[in-house]
Amino acid sequence: MSVTIFEANLDDPIHQEAVRGLLDAYAADPMGRGEPLSESVKHELIDGLKSHPTTLILLAFSDDRPAGVAVCFRGFSTFAARPLLNIHDLAVFPEFRGQGVGRRLLEETHRRAAGLGCCKVTLEVREDNHRAQGLYRSMGYGQGNGDTVGMLFWERRVDQGKLAGSDQRGSVAVNFSPI
């Protein structure tokens, strides 16, 4: 099997469909959300990714067929004063799993991160996704990676119409105390 890894061109309809299809399959997988993307998300996905200023998407193709995707976003480490790269989604179609596609996507992600001057690559993984954890460990990932304590990934959904702690007009009250 010949696999090619390259940066997605989100203006290319073939790349758009590959990204959409891979992320939809990942969402439907038990290690994703267990349900496919909604039609509205599928419709808005590519434009949303294109408009985000730090998007980096790598695609893996086997011959002319999409096999995997790494959706990454650049961030910044305030502790290192350098950029970082977060792998938000890493997905491989089931028929290509166990053939090194995920490893190849990670290797290319690491190469791109080094080229961008990043101090690290971060990702989140489900506690029950032991297969993915094995791959990540084999490539040097770990909780805190030895220089910090393990970190937990927490989230809070944002209601589109109202910010937490805001008044009805949407302004947020902030109180500062003198030092």
In this prediction, residue 109 has a pLDDT band, given cuts at 50, 70 and 90, of very high
Residue 177's pLDDT is: 43
21 or 177, which is more confident: 21
Euclidean distance between CA atoms 51 and 89, whole angstroms = 18
Structure tokens at 177: 């105390």
Q: What is the pLDDT of residue 147?
A: 64
Domains assigned to the chain? 3-146 (3.40.630.30)
- Whether the CA torsion 133, 123, 71, 116 is positive or negative: it is negative
**Ranges 4-13, 26-35, 153-162: which has the least confidence:** 153-162
pLDDT digits (tens, 9 = 90+) for 115-174: 999 999 999 999 999 999 999 999 999 887 556 677 777 888 887 666 555 554 444 444
User: Any idea how long the chain is?
Assistant: 179
Confidence at residue 158, expressed as pLDDT on a 0 to 100 scale: 87
Phi and psi, residue 145, nearest 5°: 55, 30
Q: Which of 68, 72, 146, 61 is CA-nearest to residue 110?
A: 72
**DSSP notation for 106-118:** HHHHHHHHHHTT-
- At residue 47, the pLDDT reads 98
Give the model's pLDDT for residue 143: 84
Look at residue 176 in the predicted model and tell me its pLDDT: 46
What is the structure's pLDDT at 165?
55
- Sheet with 3-7: strands ordered across: 3-7, 55-62, 65-77, 82-92, 121-123
What local confidence, expressed as pLDDT, does residue 153 receive?
76
Measured distance CA(111)–CA(13) in Å, rounded: 26
The 10s digit of each residue's pLDDT in 34-87 is 999 999 999 999 999 999 999 999 999 999 999 999 999 999 999 999 999 999
